[in-house]
Amino acid sequence: ASAQPRALGIRVGVSGLEADYQHSFSKNQFLEGNFGLDFGYDANGAPGVKATALYNFVWARPAWTDKGKWALYAGPGATLGYVNDEVHFKAADGVNIVRYLDNGFMLGICGQVGLEYTFWFPLQLSIDFRQMLGYSLGAGRFYAPSSIGLGVRYSF
């Protein structure tokens, strides 16, 4: 995180759009909470909603620039929500086949690794990779989606 105790913004991932909040507990630990739309694997379908909370640890602060601050971070978390994930394939004869179906309520654990840059004015940019292991109550099975996200936050 940054020298600022809080940050608020958005996280745009490959499968959704989330409101993003960070709260620093110390120079090297911060809580991150996300709530938003989950488009899953079928952007043409109805979106789901998902809430995620992560406890991140800053493990390096590279001095790559004279102004601003860099941070490499990682941490565990939990997620829950309602997902509407379907993957459609076309068979050789042109028939549309649904191969992956995780519709319904879900809960899971997740981990995140990210890189963040905090400007000398109250703006943060970040990129992260998030892996989740969840259980779809609707489909009655485990699944493991991953996401790359870009974050833009106002720090205060």
How far is the C-alpha of 105 from the C-alpha of 140, rounded, in Å? 10
What's the one-letter identity of residue 50?
K
Q: What is the pTM of this model?
A: 0.84
pLDDT of res. 45: 63
pLDDT of res. 2: 44
pLDDT of res. 64: 95
Nearest Cα to Cα of residue 24 among 78, 69, 66, 81: 69
pLDDT of res. 132: 93
Sign of CA dihedral 102, 105, 111, 115: positive
Mean per-residue pLDDT pooled into runs of 10, the chain (156 residues): 77 92 95 91 72 97 94 97 74 69 85 97 97 88 89 96
What's the one-letter identity of residue 94?
G
How far is the C-alpha of 22 from the C-alpha of 58, rounded, in Å? 13
pLDDT of res. 133: 94
pLDDT of res. 125: 98
**What is the chain's alpha carbon radius of gyration, rounded to the nearest angstrom?**
17
Q: What are phi and psi of 88, to 5 degrees?
A: -105, 135
